[in-house]
Amino acid sequence: MEEEEAIRRSNALEKDDIEYLRDDILDEQYLFEGVKLTDAEEREMRYKKKIYELVKKRSEEDETQSEYRIPDAYDEEGHVNQEKRFAVSLQRYNLDSAGDKMNPFAEQEAWEEHQMGKASLKYGSKNKNQSNDYEYVFEDKIDFIRDSVIDGENLDELHSELPDKSKEKSALEMLQEERKTLPIYPYRDELLQAVNEYQVLVIVGETGSGKTTQIPQYLHEAGYTKQGKVGCTQPRRVAAMSVAARVSQEMGVKLGHEAHCTSEKTILKYMTDGMLLREILSEPNLESYSVLMVDEAHERTLSTDILFGLLKDLIKFRSDLKLLISSATLDAEKFSDYFGSAPIFKIPGRRYPVEIHYTKAPEADYIDAAIVTVLQIHVTQSPGDILVFLTGQEEIETADEILKHRTRGLGSKIAELIICPIYANLPTELQAKIFEPTPEGARKVVLATNIAETSLTIDGIKYVIDPGFSKVKSYNPRTGMESLLVHPISKASAMQRAGRSGRTGPGKCFRLYTLHNYHKDMDDNTVPEIQRTNLANVVLILKSLGIDDLVNFDFIDPPPEEALLKALELLFALSALNKLGELTKVGRRMAEFPLDPMLSKMIVASDKDKCSDEIITIAAMLSVGNSIFYRPKDKQVHADNARMNFHLGNVGDHIALLRVYNSWRECNYSTQWCYENYIQVRSMKRARDIRDQLEGLLERVEIEVTSNLNDLDAIKKAITSGFFPHSAKLQKNGSYWTVKHPQRVHIHPSSGLAQVLPRWVVYHELVLTTKEYMRQVTELKPEWLVEIAPHYYQLKDVEDPISKKMPRGAGRAKE
């Protein structure tokens, strides 16, 4: 009976299932060797082995090649470059596949060998492998070598000087007591003296030293706020807001008065770096400030880099302005050099030691390696949660599935493993799961993107698994194409990731690459954003500040000259600059909007077509990005159907976005409506915020808010006024050819027009993934191009040889 059933089931097995099955057997044998199984468990195991043997035997008969899981392709712009991935792991992979060709059953043999090894390990050899230098976390698949320990800092204080909560104290007094326990407190007077003495100071302080909350308060206490505000910039909005809230609590004032926000009385202001940048536009000398602190400068955001250039110049004219640059250790010298050898002031952080482990040999499949490592930690290491860094949503979903599968069925034999995925596009309700405390006896494993590297901290993490990759946005100024590619992280990122394990106690970090990889294949620092992004917006801001010689602007790291020229070229085409490179009236109006120039131009142009109301909605929706539609893996069909409702009539993606927003507004910004239509509430709220802001700005540039919803052509024309450089023409084979700077592109499959293929389109952006895709596409009448941008398009550009052969409308699906 059991035999027959096994044969029947083995016939139905897919390749993936076989791998799962084998993994199950291996897991089970490894994890529970020596543990007495119940009868049922033993039967189950016997049964699984039977199926596996049957499948194995059959595959031998078929003489099929055994398959090794190939590491994900590392795509480069336009092609796949395997070599560029960690060379060593590649080497190993090549060796393996060479072996494959000679022996199609290599994998099966390896499995048998493995089983043999198991038998001998049982009798004691396991322990012999362990020594102090080599810590074998598991002998099975991945060997780790303990390499170093990042020392903890300032720990005595942490234990001894906690505030005495036994005495009766007011909340404010308690907060004041707590302030004194921060690592920065003993350095207060020394720091103030240094600020007094030098105009620019580089402050090096680990997270947890209290620098962000305390330094502005110290400056206030020392009287700097009598001459002007103390401003402090953060790369992220949430950080700025939460710090402001904390500080106003400590100062015993209401948020928005003494700390943060805009009123006359504001003395401490926490803001994003982008906000300060825009403030310089209206107040070039920043007269209302006496001190500026650029926090988290090592993150090198686009705005931080621009601020550096502007502030370096500004302090020459404002000798009374104090500048503090706060950074993590690695970049401090560089900042100091840039600001004329400014002194560096070091503040210890509050961190526990972290042990760093490297793999002994490179791992070709890092997802698999990460999963194995999770299971090993779970079985062999003391309690504490695990954080795994992966590159994207898809990887996280895959890892989630495999982990669930592998732990299922183990039931009560191992402690519970709670799997929590986290990435930016995950709906908020699901994100909350990672902050729930782990129940007694269970262990939490967080599968995260880079979001966990800087943007959020999770308590209770003791183990970090770092495969060493992340997705990096890059920009090709020649083609104007953006791409999001998997790339090895920098050493600085690796340190940051490791540090995430030592926040609440001593931690361990398992790096799924070798020490050799770390030294040879990883850059010291991540390439700053300014060198891998579209600079159109930056150039417009600098131009409106009267900075004309951009090539010689004092960037701390200059962007590629080609990117600057491309940006100038675009601004000229949009009529924001004249032939002399001077800002025009249109350009001045555009600069008022905190958007990419093509979006700003679209808004400014909407005045003419009397559809500014619709256009600012579209601009807001486009700025939110591609996180409007929610498409869970198990409900893709429903989600796609819901999405197509907004595309009825093949109106194009821009109008579809407008319909989404208007429908949401009509039902009173209902959350329920979002759920029903597979729309992300969070993104919609953000779109609403941006839209409100844009509406306010319309008034400033004296554009009336007018609605022209019935004339879709007017709306499309306004879109074209901003995006005419992004036009493309259909080719016979269904691909498109961009009109200027010709290259082959395709409509992204998520577009409502992907099946429709209009002859002419205007697109929002080009992205390179598996192909060159246009994302957010709307149909266009070619004569508009000549009408709207006669300086850019001539009749010959839009003459359409196809149209002479095909009647109008051919090549399109029925509407």
Binding of DNA at residue 748 (CB under 7 A)? yes
The interaxial angle of helices 681-700 and 612-624, nearest 10 deg, is 130
Helices (H), 632-680: 636-644, 653-666, 671-676
Binding of DNA at residue 152 (CB under 7 A)? no
Q: Which lies closer to DNA via its Cβ, residue 546 or residue 749?
A: 749
Per-position DSSP letters for 511-576, written without gaps between them = ESS-HHHHHHHS-SSPPPGGGSS--HHHHHHHHHTT----TTS--SSPPPHHHHHHHHHHHHHTTS
Among 253, 418, 522, 754, binds DNA (CB under 7 A): 754
Provide the token pair at 721: 């006024």
Provide the token pair at 513: 């690459």
**Nearest 10 degrees: Cα torsion 760, 764, 766, 770:** -90
Instruction: Candidates 403-411, 547-555, 756-764, 770-778: pick the segment binding DNA (CB under 7 A).
Output: 770-778
CA distances from 527 to 247, 489, 652, 811 (A): 33, 10, 36, 44
Among 82, 393, 504, 706, binds DNA (CB under 7 A): 393
CA distance linking residue 434 with residue 444, whole number of Å: 8
Collect all residues with Cβ–Cβ distance below 8 Å to 323 and sequence separation of at least 6: 199, 200, 201, 291, 292, 293, 294, 311, 315, 339
Collect all residues with Cβ–Cβ distance below 8 Å to 146 and sequence separation of at least 6: 133, 134, 135, 355, 356, 357
Backbone angles phi, psi at 229, to 5 degrees: -70, 155
Identify the DSSP state of 122.
Answer: I
CA distance linking residue 103 with residue 97, whole number of Å: 10
Name the minimum Å distance from CB 293 to DNA: 17
CA distance linking residue 343 with residue 560, whole number of Å: 30
Instruction: Candidates 1-9, 150-158, 202-210, 235-243: pick the segment binding DNA (CB under 7 A).
Output: 235-243
Among 163, 256, 581, 625, binds DNA (CB under 7 A): 625
Name the minimum Å distance from CB 160 to DNA: 36
Among 640, 692, 711, 800, binds DNA (CB under 7 A): 640
Name the minimum Å distance from CB 491 to DNA: 17
Binding mask 771-800 for DNA (x = CB under 7 A): x-x-x-------------------------
Using the structure block, give the residue that is written with the tokens 């695990």: 386
Binding of DNA at residue 266 (CB under 7 A)? no
CA distance linking residue 478 with residue 469, whole number of Å: 26
Binding of DNA at residue 106 (CB under 7 A)? no
Q: Which of 420, 441, 433, 436 is nearest to 378 (CA)?
A: 441
Instruction: Candidates 17-25, 35-43, 232-240, 582-590: pick the segment binding DNA (CB under 7 A).
Output: 232-240
Binding of DNA at residue 595 (CB under 7 A)? yes
Binding of DNA at residue 275 (CB under 7 A)? yes
Q: How many chain residues are in contact with DNA, going by CB under 7 A?
A: 48
Collect all residues with Cβ–Cβ distance below 8 Å to 357 and sequence separation of at least 6: 135, 137, 144, 145, 146, 147, 508, 509, 510, 511
Using the structure block, give the residue that is written with the tokens 């080609």: 562
Q: Which lies closer to DNA via its Cβ, residue 48 or residue 759?
A: 759
> What is the 3-class SS of 155-196, one letter each residue?
HHHHHHCCCCCCCCCCHHHHHHHHHHCCCCHHHHHHHHHHHH
Contact 377, 463 (CB under 8 A): yes
Q: Helix, strand, or coil here: 506?
A: coil
Name the minimum Å distance from CB 535 to DNA: 11
Instruction: Candidates 97-105, 769-777, 781-789, 804-812: pick the segment binding DNA (CB under 7 A).
Output: 769-777
Q: Which lies closer to DNA via its Cβ, residue 528 or residue 782?
A: 528
Among 5, 394, 401, 562, binds DNA (CB under 7 A): 394
Provide the token pair at 663: 């429908």
Name the minimum Å distance from CB 385 to DNA: 19
Between strands 354-359 and 144-150, the pairing is antiparallel
Binding of DNA at residue 255 (CB under 7 A)? no
Name the minimum Å distance from CB 377 to DNA: 24
- Considering only residues 421 to 440 of the shown chain, the ones binding DNA according to CB under 7 A are 423-425
Stretch (H or E) spanning 611 = none
CA distance linking residue 437 with residue 686, whole number of Å: 29
Instruction: Candidates 189-197, 225-233, 444-452, 560-568: pick the segment binding DNA (CB under 7 A).
Output: 444-452
Binding of DNA at residue 272 (CB under 7 A)? yes
Q: Which lies closer to DNA via its Cβ, residue 28 or residue 75?
A: 75
Binding of DNA at residue 811 (CB under 7 A)? no
Q: Which lies closer to DNA via its Cβ, residue 290 or residue 431?
A: 431
Q: Which lies closer to DNA via its Cβ, residue 8 or residue 638?
A: 638
Binding of DNA at residue 91 (CB under 7 A)? no
Among 537, 606, 721, 778, binds DNA (CB under 7 A): 537
Q: Which lies closer to DNA via its Cβ, residue 525 or residue 627?
A: 627
Instruction: Candidates 138-146, 335-343, 657-665, 766-774: pick the segment binding DNA (CB under 7 A).
Output: 766-774
Binding mask 321-360 for DNA (x = CB under 7 A): ----------------------------------------
Among 9, 49, 84, 236, binds DNA (CB under 7 A): 236
CA distances from 623 to 388, 411, 694, 764 (A): 30, 46, 11, 11
Name the minimum Å distance from CB 769 to DNA: 3
Q: Which lies closer to DNA via its Cβ, residue 564 or residue 788?
A: 564
Q: Which lies closer to DNA via its Cβ, residue 392 or residue 427?
A: 392
Site of interaction with DNA (CB under 7 A): 235-238, 272, 274-275, 278, 301, 391-394, 423-425, 449-451, 455, 470-473, 484, 537, 594-596, 623, 625-627, 631, 636, 640, 690, 693, 748-750, 754, 767, 769-771, 773, 775
